[in-house]
Every structure is written in C-alpha cells, then in structure tokens.
Amino acid sequence: MSILRKFFIFNATISKREDTEHENVLYYWPPHIALDRQTCDIGLARGLIGFANTFSPHKPLEVMQTEKHQQVFHSPEPDFWCVMQTTRPDPSKPAREDREPHYRILLSVLQKACRMFTLLRGSLCSLLSRSPDTLRHTLSAFFPAYLPTLALALESADLLDTLDGIQYLPVDRVSFLKMQSFVNKVETRFREVVATTVLVDDFLVYSGLNQNDTRCVYSFLTKRQARKCSPGEHVDHLVCLGEAGFLLKDPRTKEIATLTLHLTAHDNTVGLIVWQYSRALFAFFVTPGTEQLAFHDSLEQFLNQEIGTTVQAVTDHVSRSPLFDETYQYIYFNRMNLALKSSLRKRGTIVGSPLSAVSTTDISELMHFIESMHSDLQTMEGLKEVIVKTRHNDQWVVGRRSGEREFYAIFEGKHTLAEVEEELKKINLMFFNGIFID
C-alpha cells in the first residue's frame, strides 16, 4: 500500500478574498475530496508556513510531523507551494519491518516531481501568466499520470535519490576527445542541433547543457530507461526498434519522437530527439519546430555512417576498466559538479562482491544509518565525520564531509576503529586522490 496520502499545489496570491479562497487551489489529489476540505488543507498549510517563517525567515518550512502523518513542503517558484502528505509507520510494528523514510528523502522526491513538471510542461509562473485555468488544466493533465511514479519512488527512495547526482562515466582522454569531436561535427553540420547529451550504460559521458538542465535531463533519461527497452516495446510513448535508431512514437507510421522540453537556457524551449546506438543514448536538443522529415533522414544517415567507431572507443575503454571496485561499499558525492559515485545502487543491491554477503534487510538498515549521517553532516555546523558501529554483523558505517564533498563507506567484519581509519586512507588514495584532506 502506498504511503502517499495527499498531494496538492497552491498559490495564495491568486485570490485574497475569503469567499473566493478556493481559487488558490491549483491541483489536489485525491480529486474526490470536497473543495471545502481542499481549501481548509491549503489554509492550514499557509498557516504552518507563515508560523515557521516567523522564527526562520531565511529558511522556509520543509516538514511537519504528527503522530500519524508527515507533510513536506516545497516552494519551486515564488508564491507557489507544493505539499505532500504521507502516512507514518504503525508504532506498534518493529522498526525494522516498517521503517519511516527520512523527511529529506520525501522532500527530494517532491522536488524532483516539480522539476520534472517544469522540464516537460514549463514553469508555473509562465503558465499562470496565461491564466489560472491554463495552469490548472496543465497540472491536471500531467500529475495523474506522474503520481504512480512518485508513489513508487516514496517506497524505494534512499540517499542516492536525495543526493540526485549525476553518475559520470570515467573515460580516458582519447575516448572523451573522440566523443567531443563527434558532437562538434553533428552540431556544426546540423545547425538545428543546439546541444547534445551522451549517456553510455546510464552514465553521463558528455553534456552541452548547463548543470541544472543536465541534472533534469539525466534524471529523465535514466529513470525512463528508454535505452533498455526491448525491440518494439513501448516506454513512455516511445518505441525502440532494435540496436540502433531514433526512438519513435509509432512504429507503424515511423514518426520520430520529438519531445518539447523547457530548459533554463536556449530560450527555454527546445525539441528533444533521442538516438540509440548499442549501449549509448544520444539526446539531441533542437530548435523548436524542427520536425522536417528531410532533417531526420539526413541526421539518421550521418549518424549511421559516423557513430560506430566513436561509441566503440568508449565502450571498449569501459570494458577494460571496471566502473566499481569489488572490495569497497561506498557513496561519494560532490555538490559542486553533482558528481555521484557509488558501489551501492538501489536499496538492497550492491555492485561487486563485498567482503561478506549482506541481506536486503541489512542494506536497508545500513542505508538508514547513512541517511541519518547525511542529515547530521548537513545541519550540524562544524561536524565533519561520523562513525557508527552497528549491532548487527559488526559493520562500521563512516560518513565524512569536506567542503562540498561527502563520502560514506560500509566496512564488513570485526574491524577496530584503527583498522577502519586505515581502510579509509586506502579508499581515499585509490579513488579520491586525497580530496578529503582538510
């Protein structure tokens, strides 16, 4: 059963009259709730936001917890608020059976939903400038289809979702320059292409977008998993036809999928054309209205001729150089460039062969430790390191912060604190080249 209980969006500046206060409701789920109840919920949210602002004017309200429910608040744009209410675990159940997600995880899921709406439909302010009804209609068309994804994310999200980073593919200089040269050829030959993003195995190789746009597009492409669809399988209205080619809307008409995206650069609106080749995914961002058949045919012919050797150079390098070390379990995040490196992927999954077998339940508990460490390192001024030893399996969990960088590691076995420190030094030298030396 989903823990999602309510989800609503409002703007209190639309109507300041008491008799038309319901006009401030822009979207509310579940939709069967009476309008008076919706208005009351928004009034309560406004009261909580205003009360918190009295004590913390520079940091808006993020969470409110009661015995049975938890609400997270996010203001994606001035005067707009998104509120999500979830059900808290039954206190009579053991914590290991019904663990509550940290509120920062819930907040990250809410923030990602708002970013995805902006990416695919445009900013709330721009839609409101047309009319409140236009905004309501757009929200009502988008979120009923997106909320199942959001509800699923609430069940499985962990620290990796909170960080919302970008996993870069480590390639050698020659391979990267080959990819960059290929992208430059495409953008020089086809003036309609204003930027390009390249992924291999869901890792970012190259992006011509700014950092925020790259994060949104990366999340969109990897979460949709368009590259992993089977030939002919529909994925979010896109169809993949084998090992190479455009992702299509309809395999019968051969209509190429050109999705409209709203970016912070390139005059806001661009078209997205996705080309799949083997393990690589190329996202071409084109000027609005670029849907001529001649352009698609010319681009396809050029890609078929030029793309093979470039992708082969990158995938060959990846095959020779494993992405993850098989000894260590760790998470590294750099907030400055959003770089995320981890041998821990989804909850309950470990890449490589750890020192000893770890069950899904244990990984869930360990991730809970790491999520708490992350919160402490973010909120407690001067705190730079936390080390915890679990009661189960004699595991050590270490969290470190240095500037904008964070690092978390899990060590199996009966290590002493001195042994853990020695292992940390080895990881630092092997992967991070001393960046945690203050």
What pLDDT shows up at residue 151?
Answer: 92
DSSP string for 187-226: HHH-TTEEEEEEEETTEEEEE-S-HHHHHHHHHHHHHHTG
What pLDDT shows up at residue 184?
Answer: 97
- Residue 425: pLDDT band (50, 70, 90) is confident
What pLDDT shows up at residue 73?
Answer: 98
78: how many CB neighbours lie within 10 A of its CB?
9
DSSP state of 90: P
Q: Nearest-CA neighbor of 225 among 146, 155, 279, 158?
A: 279
**3-state DSSP assignment of residue 96:** coil
- Residue 135 main-chain phi, psi, to 5 deg: -65, -45
Asked whether the whole model's pTM tops 0.85, one would answer yes
DSSP state of 59: S
What pLDDT shows up at residue 399?
Answer: 92
Q: Nearest-CA neighbor of 427 among 410, 403, 402?
A: 410
Task: Indicate the residue type of 10.
Answer: F
Contact 411, 398 (CB under 8 A): yes
What pLDDT shows up at residue 358?
Answer: 47
Contact 422, 386 (CB under 8 A): no
What pLDDT shows up at residue 431?
Answer: 67
DSSP state of 344: B
pLDDT digits (tens, 9 = 90+) for 309-359: 899 989 888 877 766 555 678 899 999 999 998 887 543 344 433 333 344
